[in-house]
Amino acid sequence: MLKKFSGYILALAGLTIIFTSCKKDYESIQSTDNAKITDYITKNNLTSSMILDSAKTGYYYQILTQGTGNVLKNTDSILYTGTIKGLENGVTYLSTGSYYNLGTFVGYTNSLSYNSGAYNIPAIRDVMLKLKRGGSARILLPSHLAFGRNGAGDVPSNQNIDLTITTYPDTTQAQLDDRLIQAFVTSKGLSMTKDPSGVWYSVSAAGSGTYPITINSTIQTSYTGRLTDGTVFDSSTDATFNLFTQSEVALRGWAKVIPGRLEKGGKIRIIIPSRLGYGTAGTTGIPGNSILDFDVEILSVTP
């Protein structure tokens, strides 16, 4: 009986040592994170601008731009971008700028998908609730509130994070697409017409021929497809499409503006909003939420 009782005592002592060791290790990581972040703030003269979160969980934040309108609520739908950098090494691990943006309700922005994993980062939601639409903020995240001791993808173990979030003033992807297209058209000095569908177009030559293009036509084309940064993602000098019945996603945008406007020899520039292109998912060579810019020439038409 005494031997059995002694065994229990030894097992309990072992568990106590393990628990104490884990607790000390966790506390040590928190202390190390805090020391690195406060040192960074001091060295970069951010003492007056960085605010410790009210719950004192360990992250600091700075409102870069407040935005306009009402302060965001958990139930508001929001479109935003984010950039994740290593605090100490300055390496950019994730950037959702240019094309790809994130969209959800503010209350769900605490969940971040990265490198095929989902991470709970409440600091994003907490700080977003201090912004208005169009506002932006910077968050200095200790590793234990970010990707932890295991890291994620290229993010190393116990890496403190410098995170920037920027919200859009737009409430829907359609509004955002249209605003970005208008800005692109203006910046390039283009003269284009907006179709009721949301597709923008400019006809440089109407063409002529026996068969006008209809919704059921098969057309032979020469075309180039670009992103708005000029990157060419597709082109052909001799492509034949049963344009309005095949499944190619980008052709849905073509179908909105080509019928009734072009014949053989016709030339048109078409700018397709992301929602009528490859949407939030994107495809190979085309990021999510990409606006598509096409130059199309009609080589022949078959009714």
Give residue-wise pLDDT tens across range 90-103: 999 999 887 888 99
250-253 contact pairs (CB < 8 A, 24+): 250/225, 250/277, 250/278, 250/292, 250/294, 252/276, 253/197, 253/199, 253/277, 253/292, 253/294
Residue 205 belongs to some domain of the structure: yes
- Tokens matching residue 195: 């179709």
Q: What is the residue range of 113's domain?
A: 44-167
Same domain, 220 and 240: yes
Same domain, 81 and 183: no
CB 99 within 8 A of CB 288: yes
Residue 1 belongs to some domain of the structure: no
Residue 37 belongs to some domain of the structure: no
- Tokens matching residue 209: 């021929």
> What band does 26 get if pLDDT is binned at 50, 70 and 90?
low
* Range in 130-139, 195-204, 273-282 with the lowest mean pLDDT: 273-282
- Which are the contacts of 294, defined by CB distance < 8 A and separation ≥ 6? 223, 224, 225, 226, 250, 253, 254, 269, 270, 271, 272
Q: What's the pLDDT tens digit per position in 193-231?
A: 999 999 999 999 999 988 888 888 889 999 999 999 999
How far is 59 from 142, CA to CA, in rounded Å? Answer: 6
Residue 11 belongs to some domain of the structure: no
- Residue 164 is which amino acid? T
Residue 7 belongs to some domain of the structure: no
Most confidently modeled range among 33-47, 204-218, 278-292: 33-47
Helix then strand then coil, % of the chain, to nearest 5: 25, 35, 40
Same domain, 227 and 137: no
Tell which of 167, 189, 209 closes a domain.
Answer: 167
> What band does 25 get if pLDDT is binned at 50, 70 and 90?
low
Residue 286 has pLDDT above 70, yes or no: yes
Same domain, 139 and 177: no
- How many domains, the chain? 2
> What band does 111 get if pLDDT is binned at 50, 70 and 90?
confident
Residue 10 belongs to some domain of the structure: no
Same domain, 139 and 75: yes
Q: What is the pLDDT of residue 244?
A: 64
Same domain, 163 and 179: no
How far is 296 from 264, CA to CA, in rounded Å? Answer: 12
Residue 223 belongs to some domain of the structure: yes
Same domain, 177 and 160: no
* Range in 150-164, 166-180, 235-249 with the lowest mean pLDDT: 235-249
- Tokens matching residue 53: 């979160």
How far is 193 from 209, CA to CA, in rounded Å? Answer: 24
Q: What is the pLDDT of residue 18?
A: 41
Beta strands per DSSP E along 87-160: 92-95, 102-105, 111-114, 117-120, 132-133, 136-141
Same domain, 100 and 58: yes
Same domain, 84 and 139: yes
Tell which of 137, 167, 197 closes a domain.
Answer: 167
The chain-wide mean pLDDT, for the chain, equals: 88
> What band does 166 get if pLDDT is binned at 50, 70 and 90?
very high
Give me the mean pLDDT over the 273-284 stretch. 90
Residues 142, 147, 149, 153: is their CA dihedral positive or negative?
Answer: negative
Provide the 3-class DSSP secondary structure of residue 160.
Answer: coil
**What's 64's domain CATH number?**
3.10.50.40
- Tokens matching residue 238: 């001799």
Same domain, 208 and 99: no
Higher pLDDT, 72 or 17: 72
Residue 102 belongs to some domain of the structure: yes
Tell which of 104, 132, 167 closes a domain.
Answer: 167
> What band does 16 get if pLDDT is binned at 50, 70 and 90?
very low
Q: What is the DSSP letter of 190?
A: -
> What band does 10 get if pLDDT is binned at 50, 70 and 90?
very low
Same domain, 158 and 188: no
Same domain, 218 and 246: yes
